[in-house]
């Protein structure tokens, strides 16, 4: 809004500008409003023309004052009745009055010693108004403004406020921003102060020039800097705005890069940032001097600590004589030696590298000196900032206690365990400070709690389950005790579930975790008829599970569980049953010709009672989003403690993460499983032996486990193809009637993935791209009973239906229709391979995952899919 529209019409806008430009000084106002010495002298000369050069003050009176008492105005001057005065004293009196910043104009008139001080008081501020600020909200600018309502307005304060606002915009990279303050006169000597802001465009870095580099190309050096040139891809890189602090940081980055590559004498001679001719963007020019490249000369280690000999430390030094000098390697070595000393309890080991430069041979001799220091013990552990989380929840994750010998490895492990709770900020650190004596250390951590409660009401669309609705509530730190309480309801086209769960990680403050879950899950399995996805069997599971776990060592955990589940498998009777109402001569029942014998044999209700365990080895630095470490776990579940099902299911998983530098995270994952049935031999409707592992207990493989394939798109399946009128199979998709995945007893899966870092702009949006390679297979199932029907023969009188084999003909009195042939395919351990890329995005609608994957190797019958995405579900 404009200032002349911000106030009522009877108020007039002062025409005089207080500030000429943002970057310049004030424009010259009227002489009576100027505090500079020449204006003072002119006012004093005016007074001198009406008064003698010297005399005695007979009286002092004040006129023009509104808020101030005359005695107050007189008190600001050094003039008193009965004292002599001259031109110099009058000048000083004017200066003293202007110095109070209470007056806009002051004059002193003399009538033969009777002095009259005429003043015009500075106005009182009614309110402060900001106009034109869009990129910076008012709540960001107001703290920088020192002028305030009910204060006296002065030009010097307005000038200072303008400078602070401009500096605020400069810190945002807007160097073209201007601020023009104006005042609106009100009654009773009051004013509204209006800051009219022209934010201007954000100043970008158009070009980065480097002069003097010979060993490395400009592009190599630019890639080391935090500042990026403004290009079409700047959205992903970020940091394209000009920032003087970042300019200094980039100089340090350049020096670090050269020092890491052996240029020990490198220096930045100058770094200049110049505005482009249109004064909108910047061109940065660095002038560098590379110097000579050095190699490591003699590398030694000297120790004054009893438990660390010089020989043992020398064996830890990674650099060798003749290697190129690398300052980063030296820093890492110092850190490593400190950690080695910390393992033996020396928290404050003094490791100093001493350099000896040999310009003639261009070598650098280094001696790592470890000074004498006492062994340190933990005096106390301070935990700060946990307002909701109970102290013991954090303290029990420490691998050290008060009085223990200090151990840097245990401190690092404590940090990782606290970080893995997911209750606190990222990049948490445990600080080490000197205790009451030199051999005591205080461990302290400043926590910043994150929200651990989650209420989610979401709807989305998934390529797996079509439309879905999710409502869940979870508290991962219930009552600050670290307990997990959750409840969820999920609904989609092919699945519905209700689940409740509770976990106590430390039962009775001991390292024993207990928990339980109850659930109801409805799953609709499906097959493909042409390109249409149709429901085949329905599985309704109702049950629960009790869990208990304990840590065997720092990195190993044993968990036990008992589960009880009632599973009912059914088919749509109107679609897959003969004579659904039971009135026909054949009787009511599952029709193998419609559903397939393998589905008919799976129908029924079964009770599964299982006991299982999991053994885990875990060194990940963060359970939620690891960047280094490894994890291996084996699961086994035995079903047969009562119930109707008996089997042993074994699964194993191993994963490893590497931080390969520059924000890249590489990970590998290996997974496999096998299920063995202990049930008695079962015979199918045709008398043949059936697979002993029931359909719902088998493994299935596809999206999302192995990308590039559809859900349940890998592994054994039954294809039903139609015959034409001549008795020949119809090839291709035109002849495919249906396709049913029937699972397998064994599977394996391997993944390799590289997470790619992005610039700050994309990172702030929560974008995390990656490239991946998936390999896997599902196999080891007994060949199911399949059908081969040449023709269907329907009696024209009774409606009874019979079949004839391929090549046969229907008898007289019947009508013929084409039959089909079922083929069992896909039961092979041959690996399926896919490659692709994906992006995780923490969108405002919820987590979003998109994958584009190409199946490079597949088997007959496998279903592939190039593009998949999910919204509103966890990845």
pTM of the model: 0.65
pLDDT at 42 over 60: no
Give 768's pLDDT tier (boundaries 50, 70, 90): confident
In tens, the pLDDT along 192-239 reads 999 999 988 888 899 999 999 999 999 999 989 988 888 776 555 567
Q: Which residues pair with 431 in a beta bridge?
A: 444
Q: Quote the pLDDT of residue 459.
A: 54
Task: State how far Cα 76 lies from the chain centre.
Answer: 61
193 close to 147: Cβ distance less than 8 angstroms? yes
Count the alpha carbons within 13 Å of 287 in the hemisphere toward its beta carbon. Answer: 4
In tens, the pLDDT along 551-592 reads 998 899 999 999 999 988 887 766 677 655 544 444 467 777
- Is 527 or 660 the better-scoring residue by pLDDT? 660
Those residues whose C-beta lies under 8 Å from the C-beta of residue 167, and which sit 6 or more positions away, are: none
Q: Quote the pLDDT of residue 842.
A: 67
Distance from C-alpha of 554 to C-alpha of 511, rounded to nearest angstrom: 11
In tens, the pLDDT along 149-160 reads 999 998 889 999
3-state secondary structure of 511: coil
The torsion region of residue 262 among left (phi > 0), alpha (psi -120 to 50) and beta comes to: left
User: Which residue spans within 619-758 are E strands per DSSP?
Assistant: 629-643, 647-661, 664-677, 717-722, 736-741, 746-755
Averaged confidence pLDDT in the chain:
83
Distance from C-alpha of 822 to C-alpha of 803, rounded to nearest angstrom: 15
Q: Quote the pLDDT of residue 622.
A: 82
Give the number of other Cβ atoms within 10 Å of residue 73's Cβ. Answer: 23
Q: Quote the pLDDT of residue 574.
A: 66
Compute the radius of gyration of the chain from its Cα atoms: 41
Looking at residue 217, the DSSP 8-state letter turns out to be: -
CA angle 258, 262, 268 (to 5 degrees): 30
Give the pair of three-digit tokens for residue 175: 């160097």
């Amino acid at each position: 809004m404009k200032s002349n529209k911000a106030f009522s019409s009877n108020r007039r806008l002062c025409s005089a500008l207080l500030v000429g430009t943002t970057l310049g000084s004030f424009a010259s106002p009227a002489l009576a409003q100027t505090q500079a010495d020449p204006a003072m002298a002119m006012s004093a000369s005016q007074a001198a023309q009406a008064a003698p050069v010297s005399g005695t003050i007979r009286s002092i009176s004040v006129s023009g004052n509104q808020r101030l008492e005359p005695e107050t105005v007189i008190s600001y001057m050094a003039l008193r009745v009965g004292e002599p005065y001259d031109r110099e004293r009058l000048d000083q009196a004017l200066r003293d009055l202007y110095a109070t910043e209470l007056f806009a104009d002051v004059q002193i008139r003399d009538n033969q010693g009777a002095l009259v001080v005429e003043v015009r008081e500075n106005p009182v501020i009614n309110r402060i108004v900001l106009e034109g600020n869009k990129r910076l909200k008012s709540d960001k600018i107001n703290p920088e403004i020192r002028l305030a309502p009910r204060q006296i307005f002065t030009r010097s304060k307005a000038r200072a406020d303008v400078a602070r606002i401009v500096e605020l915009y400069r810190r945002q990279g807007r160097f073209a921003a201007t601020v023009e303050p104006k005042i609106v006169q009100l009654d009773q000597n009051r004013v509204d102060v209006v800051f009219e802001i022209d934010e201007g465009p954000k100043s970008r870095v158009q070009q980065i020039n480097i002069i003097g580099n010979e060993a490395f190309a400009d592009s190599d050096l630019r890639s080391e800097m935090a500042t990026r040139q403004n290009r079409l891809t700047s959205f992903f890189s970020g940091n394209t705005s000009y920032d003087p602090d970042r300019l200094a940081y980039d100089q340090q980055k350049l020096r670090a890069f050269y020092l890491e590559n052996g240029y020990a004498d490198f220096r930045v001679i100058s770094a200049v940032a110049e505005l482009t001719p249109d004064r909108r963007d910047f061109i940065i020019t660095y002038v560098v001097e590379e110097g000579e490249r050095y190699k490591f000369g003699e590398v030694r280690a000297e120790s004054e600590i009893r438990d660390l000999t010089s020989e043992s430390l020398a064996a830890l030094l990674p650099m060798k004589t003749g290697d190129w000098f690398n300052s980063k390697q030296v820093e890492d070595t110092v850190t490593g030696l400190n950690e080695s000393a910390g393992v033996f309890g020396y928290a404050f080991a003094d490791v100093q590298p001493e350099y000896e430069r040999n310009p003639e041979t261009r070598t650098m001799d280094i001696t790592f000196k470890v000074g004498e220091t006492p062994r340190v013990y933990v005096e106390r552990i301070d935990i700060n900032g946990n307002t909701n989380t109970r102290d013991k929840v954090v303290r029990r994750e420490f691998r050290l206690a008060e009085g223990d010998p200090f151990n840097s490895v245990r401190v690092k492990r404590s940090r990782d365990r606290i970080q893995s709770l997911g209750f606190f900020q990222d990049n948490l650190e445990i600080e080490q400070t000197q205790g009451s004596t030199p051999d005591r250390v205080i461990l302290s951590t400043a926590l910043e709690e994150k929200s651990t409660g989650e209420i989610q009401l979401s709807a989305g669309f998934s390529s797996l389950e079509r439309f879905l609705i999710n409502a869940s509530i979870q508290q991962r730190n219930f009552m600050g005790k670290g307990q997990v309480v959750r409840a969820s309801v999920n609904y989609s086209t092919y699945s519905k579930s209700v689940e409740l769960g509770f976990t106590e990680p430390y039962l009775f403050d001991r390292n024993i975790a207990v928990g339980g879950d109850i659930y109801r899950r409805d799953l609709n399995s499906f097959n493909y008829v042409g390109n249409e996805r149709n429901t085949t069997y329905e599985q309704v599971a109702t049950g629960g599970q009790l869990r208990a776990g304990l840590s065997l060592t720092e990195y190993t955990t044993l968990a036990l569980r008992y589960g009880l589940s009632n599973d009912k498998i059914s088919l749509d009777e109107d679609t897959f049953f003969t004579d659904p109402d039971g009135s026909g001569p054949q009787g009511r029942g599952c029709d193998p010709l419609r559903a397939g014998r393998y589905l008919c044999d799976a129908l029924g209700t079964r009770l599964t009672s299982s006991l299982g365990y999991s053994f885990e080895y875990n060194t990940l630095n963060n359970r939620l989003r690891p960047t280094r470490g490894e994890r291996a776990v084996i699961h086994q579940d035995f079903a047969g403690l009562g119930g109707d099902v008996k089997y042993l299911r074994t699964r194993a998983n191993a994963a490893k993460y590497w931080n390969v530098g520059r924000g890249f995270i590489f990970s590998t994952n290996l997974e496999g499983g096998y299920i063995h049935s202990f049930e008695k031999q079962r015979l199918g409707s045709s008398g043949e032996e059936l697979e002993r592992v029931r359909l719902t207990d088998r493994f299935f493989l596809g999206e999302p486990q192995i990308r590039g394939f559809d859900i349940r798109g890998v592994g054994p399946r039954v294809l039903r193809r139609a015959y034409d009128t001549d008795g020949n199979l119809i090839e291709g998709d035109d002849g495919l009637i249906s396709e049913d995945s029937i699972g397998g007893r064994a599977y394996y899966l391997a993944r390799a993935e590289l997470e790619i870092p992005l610039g700050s702009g994309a990172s702030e949006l929560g974008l995390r791209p990656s490239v991946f390679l998936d390999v896997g297979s599902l196999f080891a199932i007994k060949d199911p009973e399949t059908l081969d029907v040449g023709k269907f023969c329907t009696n024209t009188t009774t409606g009874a239906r019979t079949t004839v084999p391929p090549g046969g003909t229907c008898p007289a009195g019947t009508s013929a229709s084409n039959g089909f042939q079922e083929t069992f395919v896909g039961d092979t351990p041959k690996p399926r391979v896919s490659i692709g890329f994906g992006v995780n995005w923490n969108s405002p609608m919820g987590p979003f995952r998109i994958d584009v994957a190409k199946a490079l190797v597949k088997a007959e019958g496998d279903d592939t899919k190039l593009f998949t995405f999910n919204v509103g579900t966890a990845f």
